[in-house]
Amino acid sequence: EDKVVQSPLSLVVHEGDTVTLNCSYEVTNFRSLLWYKQEKKAPTFLFMLTSSGIEKKSGRLSSILDKKELFSILNITATQTGDSAIYLCAVPNSGYALNFGKGTSLLVTP
């Protein structure tokens, strides 16, 4: 059975801190891993990772995939209150639809 496990489930940090969010997976025939950010409404796309060891970066957010150890991390440096959100990790199943983890709820306090 395909599994996507995120940790921690929730996290509270102060503005300016750096955070690392984790996503491990077990899927048949891995193709890619995607990260989404969800604020009050619908999730929005952050990154798609397909190759091991290649970092994807967007501003203060970056992500990397380790296909040997079956995990990905999402880093956020110099956190701001606007980074408060649920961060979701997802992996396509054998039918090519995305299976999501439970998410990490991040709260950045002033």
Interface with another protein (CB under 8 A): 6, 9, 31-32, 34, 36, 41-45, 48, 50, 88, 90, 92-93, 95-103
In the complex, minimum distance from the CB of residue 63 to another protein, in angstroms, rounded to a whole number = 14
Instruction: Count CB neighbours of 74 within 10 A.
Output: 24
CB of 8 to another protein, least distance (A): 12
How crowded is the C-beta side of 59, counted as CA atoms within 13 Å? 7
Whichever of 34 and 64 has its CB closer to another protein, that residue is: 34
Which two three-digit tokens encode residue 4?
Answer: 């996507």
Name the residue nearer to another protein (CB basis): 85 or 90. 90
Cβ closest to another protein, residue 4 vs residue 76? 4
Nearer to another protein, 45 or 60 (CB): 45
Starting at the edge strand that comes first in sequence, how are the strands of the sheet with 56-58 ordered? 3-7, 19-26, 71-76, 61-66, 56-58
In the complex, what is the shortest distance from the CB of residue 98 to another protein, in angstroms, rounded to a whole number?
5
Nearest to 77, CA basis, from 96, 58, 90, 93: 58
